[in-house]
Structure 1
């Protein structure tokens, strides 16, 4: 058990506040889509529920819930609005980046009072346009723009992925940059998740000096090599397990919300081309609902299991008995591919609901069509290439090493000493 598992009342309170806000999130969603971002009011209302503090350190007033508990919150927010779920997911699941950057960055990010997400990240898959060069006392950043900056519009800092090269080959660094040093571009013109405001950003000048402590070799961040000053086991949990268990919760919440909306709008609705006067009494509806349930349920069970295992591994590491590198590599590869499958199954479930909802379900005001688009965007995330992830995990199952590539989802960080051999 972690300390956070002993505070179920706090989790229940956050979930209750999210449910109370839920109808307003759904009502505001069409206007937020048109604006390409959440309103400041919505960000403040989400903050008031505690949703942005679920993965923040206890030492700085956050809830520091377990990953399994965070999963419940992300799922509940996404049930009402996918874009809001995405914003909360990013705010929770990227806390490991400042924590992995050392105690001074932790103090800067979490010390001041702030309304909204504390953390944003951009271009870690890997960075291709940002550059970082060592200079006296720190680093000099140049290049850009940095793309897909979810939460950057509302966070005090954005961690920018940059490529550095000290003469021994390029590597990825994460630079923690204050929002006032960034200019946000109006380039988030997309098919789904429109209200996340995941815009690109660029430096306000041609170059930016970043103090030494704010620019960290990403291998040090992912490897947990720097002392954050934080005591909880959450900060020892595997980052891929944390981030992607919660990402699956986003897909699950959107699908659950679409299912609830389908049941609500289908009562008393006739089925075209049949004699059924009430769609909910038609056997074809019953068969479809069972398939939808099975897809969502399968995704839910996998996400919960992965979140619980992430928490267990964090506890082991905090106790000084971390899991073997071979297991950590296998687990991380498995979380990635299972999250991709969860996103696929939930998107398929929503497509079934959409197809059986009639032509009015394409109207802008209808939540089902928005859920349909939002869920498909998740499946297109750069980290959820189902075929590539399937091959990588299949290679491990067959006793072969995974592909070695740069970026936030690379598996070579674990450097297992002995590769599994095929039976």
Structure 2
């Protein structure tokens, strides 16, 4: 698909989302009570085109750039944070099945499907899943696999498992069809309730997974398996892709709250003052300027990271990948800046909520739901701000980052020993 075609497709998808947006917002309270989106909402999101934004062009996907995917995630999140999370998870995990090779790619993208194509769960060293290699495949045990966003609607869920062989431990990604999984009713949370990010398990003590559906995670992270796909998206840094678009959720939610605040504040008096119209009060003006600055700071950082992710993908696709030192610094930067974007947007929403009066705590008011959803993003396991600050600061100071394996591990890069990283 040519870049002009992608731009036109992006415009169409964004317009579709804006038309669907009021319906998403209207359905959100019931979806929260149910702990999941309705099948109708998933079908409507699919019809809007949001689940194909990160799918391979060779299989009819839109294969939008990371920068374009960011815009889609932000627009959906503006209307409903849980819907934004579902779209983000569907787009940003496409590199998992693609990184496993052509047979899995064909299996995931070759069939018709309405909804997200794949879910991922427990790709951290703390995974409760265990795997051992046997003839023809893998034997999986343990679990359950938690925080399985999109697993309720995807044909496959990619489970992270720890494998041990000859005293060596490794993280293995295992692709399991939905009909072999059982989902627990354990998504009882403060925010992002409609994502239905339940835990996954299976009946019995063990499950056999064919050999081609299991790959050592490091091979996926390093993009060492030939995919047969031509687009530069498949050479883009996976952390840049996953976390630039993740920040889009925080940005979209905050933008939606700002719009809602301006809408509901016109003509509203401020209790304890003589102001009859909140929008005419200087204290509102000062607050709005601070809110704008926090959101805009997140926007500019995140767009820059998405653009750089696309550029690095193009370099790698052309056979001239960036230096490993730079890749490690960039990946660490994306992580810490995504955590800051989440923090600033959550703070902006906090300001808007505190200035929205007591009705902003009511279930029918989108502001209270956005406040909870935005805080959940800041608590994501990959966005431990203080740890990310230290890692990036270590690199700035010329000290190596902590070598921690898993989906956000920086040890997939191998900077030259002794090279000065202070620039």
> If the TM-score is normalised by the length of the shorter chain, which range does it land in?
over 0.9
Give runs of aligned pairs for residues 343-354 of structure 1, distance below 5 A. Answer: 343-354=342-353
What SS is found at the alignment partner of 1:134? strand
Distance 1:226 1:5, change over 3 A: farther
Match of 1:28 in 2: 27
How far apart, CA to CA, are the structure 2 residues paired with 1:247 and 1:128?
A: 22
How far apart, CA to CA, are the structure 2 residues paired with 1:394 and 1:6?
A: 41
- Shift, 1:204, TM fit: 2.0
Q: Determine whether 1:260 maps to 2:267.
A: no
- Shift, 1:203, TM fit: 1.5
Q: Is contact 1:4-1:64 (8 Å) kept?
A: no
What SS is found at the alignment partner of 2:154? coil
Q: Is contact 1:187-1:200 (8 Å) kept?
A: yes
Match of 1:282 in 2: 281
Match of 1:300 in 2: 299
Q: TM-score, normalised by structure 1?
A: 0.98
Q: Is contact 1:125-1:382 (8 Å) kept?
A: no
Q: Determine whether 1:86 maps to 2:82.
A: no
What SS is found at the alignment partner of 1:414? coil
What SS is found at the alignment partner of 2:412? helix
What SS is found at the alignment partner of 2:132? strand
Give runs of aligned pairs for residues 7-406 of structure 1, distance below 5 A. Answer: 7-406=6-405
How far apart, CA to CA, are the structure 2 residues paired with 1:133 and 1:33?
A: 38
How far apart, CA to CA, are the structure 1 residues paired with 2:126 and 2:17?
A: 35
- Shift, 1:417, TM fit: 1.6
Match of 1:420 in 2: 420
1:127-173 per-position Cα deviation (integer Å, ceiling 9, x unaligned): 43100100001111011000000000000000000000111411100
Q: Is contact 1:5-1:65 (8 Å) kept?
A: no
How far apart, CA to CA, are the structure 2 residues paired with 1:310 and 1:296?
A: 21
- Shift, 1:206, TM fit: 1.2
Structure 2 segments unaligned to the other structure (5+ residues):
none
What SS is found at the alignment partner of 1:280? helix
How far apart, CA to CA, are the structure 2 residues paired with 1:416 and 1:124?
A: 24
- Shift, 1:6, TM fit: 4.8
How far apart, CA to CA, are the structure 2 residues paired with 1:114 and 1:287?
A: 48
1:274-293 per-position Cα deviation (integer Å, ceiling 9, x unaligned): 00000000000000000000
- Shift, 1:422, TM fit: 4.7
Q: Is contact 1:127-1:162 (8 Å) kept?
A: no
How far apart, CA to CA, are the structure 1 residues paired with 2:387 and 2:420?
A: 20
How far apart, CA to CA, are the structure 1 residues paired with 2:247 and 2:400?
A: 26
Q: Is contact 2:6-2:62 (8 Å) kept?
A: no
Aligned-CA RMSD value: 1.0
Q: TM-score, normalised by structure 2?
A: 0.98
User: How many residues get paired?
Assistant: 422
Distance 1:64 1:167, change over 3 A: same
Structure 1 segments unaligned to the other structure (5+ residues):
none
Large movers: runs of 4+ above 6 Å: none
1:344-385 per-position Cα deviation (integer Å, ceiling 9, x unaligned): 000000000000000000000000000000000000000000
How far apart, CA to CA, are the structure 1 residues paired with 2:55 and 2:125?
A: 25
Q: Is contact 1:127-1:161 (8 Å) kept?
A: no
What SS is found at the alignment partner of 2:118? coil
How far apart, CA to CA, are the structure 2 residues paired with 1:254 and 1:421?
A: 36
1:178-204 per-position Cα deviation (integer Å, ceiling 9, x unaligned): 011110000000000000000001112
How far apart, CA to CA, are the structure 1 residues paired with 2:42 and 2:247?
A: 22
